[in-house]
Structure 1
């Protein structure tokens, strides 16, 4: 339940348009609903501005279906991350407008209009191999209301590709830099831009990359100021963080 829908419900009760018993039925699962295997935080959007997101790994398909069904009743938008094709096939009957983004491994069901921001997020990837993580960031930020642009395969091995697109970095309000190997992209972008840069190390790389640890440590030790780092392959976290920054920019612009 969103703050707007809660306000509308209480207004209807006040105006005598719905009965108190009907309102109680809608409110009885706030602030959370206990399904036994999960406690669905229906109050989260009221507190944070965003509804709860479903992290699929480790959950059974019946559990994922139950969580989706619970959120559907509350008329919130639903985003499920790290969802396989198998999971999508098993839940796609739950809503006629369900969307699946295979590269991002994300499922989305829209029940509330998404108002796109005027401020922009630019998602930059070092290589083509980093695109799945970059796409997770893109889909997350878009579904949370951001206007998002992509700039892919502009890693430092051919830095002229990045420099040729510096105007796109300048036009963005937040930049997400996604890179594996040695993870140098985030430092370069941070040195070129006066905007917040969210660095996402990926697990792409050869043996001594240690599954993304090399890129993570490089980004954490960046000599460029204004660079923040999320966990390895955490495109979702980067997209979510970018959306909170954009949201504050838009609120302060009013």
Structure 2
């Protein structure tokens, strides 16, 4: 990331004696964020977390997203995730930035660049109706540098569909289990694999599913050890967490 290179350059100048420690401290103090009035863009996110700030697009205007992206482009950021935006916003952003838009996930990757993929993450869904949330998770993980295998429509109503995919499940470093209705997929997967399972309840289901609340409570009460739960429809959060788990494993191996 360009921000990391900026900090390294400052440290090298101090080492070489071309920059005083006091001036270096001032430069670093000025570096962490830029105040755009409507947003404070966090340039040090990549330094702290290894990933540039992600833009949550819902409820932001197109102009606000444009301003944030432009400020990040000036600092050399690439592969910026813009979540929860519609195709009209994506088309408007494409006029100013290179941008890949994924309509099913309602997610865009601004200033896209190739990334080296590693490890193994599986994203599984109970049904086809869960795919939009699953794609948000899968694409997030891919942009962050992870290899992702998709297993869609493998829910408990036809358990043989899941059991026919044991090989990718058993070799995964993390599994994202996305399901609505009663959310049983996460417990089943959690009972099969030896890696962390990230359960994502979706708002898919009939009346008593209560907009995903039934799946959320089922997943929170899972008896399968090693299963954690993110919020309803939070594919992004699941993909990000799976990436952390996978890349910690990669760093140790």
TM-score, normalisation: structure 2: 0.90
What does the per-residue CA deviation read over 1:136-178, in whole Å, with 9 as the maximum and x for residues that have no partner? 0011001111111100000000001001111110111110000
Range with greater deviation from structure 2 (123-132 or 102-111): 102-111
1:49 to partner: Cα distance: 1.2
**Which residue, 60, 78, 81 being the options, matches 2:83?**
81
In the aligned structure 2, how far is the partner of 1:60 from the partner of 1:54? 12
1:242 aligns with 2:246: no
Output aligned runs, 1:30-109, within 5 Å.
Answer: 30-77=31-78, 78-95=80-97, 97-109=98-110
Change over 3 Å in CA distance of 1:12–1:149 after alignment to 2: farther
CA distance in 1, matches of 2:201, 2:30: 38
What is the Cα-based RMSD across aligned positions, in Å?
2.3
Kindly indicate whether the alpha-carbon contact (under 8 Å) linking 2:170 and 2:193 is maintained by their aligned counterparts in 1: yes
Which residue in the other structure is 2:185 paired with? 185
Query: Shift of residue 4 of structure 1?
Result: 3.7
Report the 3-state secondary structure (helix = DSSP H, G, I; strand = E; otherwise coil) of the residue aligned with 1:192. coil
Alpha-carbon separation, structure 2, partners of 1:70 and 1:28: 17
Aligned-partner Cα distance in 2 for 1:132–1:217: 21
Give the TM-score of the pair, scaled to structure 1.
0.90
Per-residue displacement from partner, 1:216-251 (whole Å, max 9, x unpaired)? 000000010000000000000000001111121122
Indicate if the aligned counterparts of 2:100 and 2:112 stay in contact, CA closer than 8 A: no
Q: Compared with structure 1, are the counterparts of its residues 44 and 225 closer, same or farther at alpha carbon in structure 2 (3 Å cutoff)?
A: same
SS at match of 2:123: strand
Assess, with a 3 A threshold, how the Cα gap between structure 1 residues 4 and 134 changes in structure 2: closer, same or farther.
same
2:184, 2:219 within 8 Å by CA — same for their partners in 1?
Answer: yes
Note the C-alpha offset of 1:76. 1.1
Q: Distance in 2 between matches of 1:187 and 1:111?
A: 36
1:144 maps to what in 2? Answer: 144
When residues 29 and 61 of structure 1 are mapped into structure 2, their CA distance, relative to the original with a 3 A threshold, is farther
Query: How far 1:115 sits from its partner (Å)?
Result: 2.4
User: Structure 2: 5+ residue runs without aligned partners?
Assistant: 19-23
Distance in 2 (CA, whole Å) between partners of 1:203 and 1:44 is: 31
Which residue number in structure 2 is paired with residue 164 of structure 1? 164
2:21 counterpart residue number: none
Hey, what's the Cα distance between the residues in 2 that align with 1:200 and 1:129?
13
Report SS of the residue matched to 2:38.
coil
* Residues 185-233 of structure 1 deviation map (CA, whole Å, 9 limit, x = unaligned): 0000000111100000000000000000000000000010000000000
How many residues in Structure 1 have an aligned counterpart in Structure 2? 247
- Deviation by residue 1:2-49 (Cα, 9 ceiling, x = unmatched): 3245325654797799xxxxx99x978510000000000000110111
Counting only pairs closer than 5 Å after superposition, residues 189-200 of structure 1 correspond to structure 2 as 189-200=189-200
Are 1:75 and 1:111, in contact at CA under 8 Å, matched by a contact in 2? no
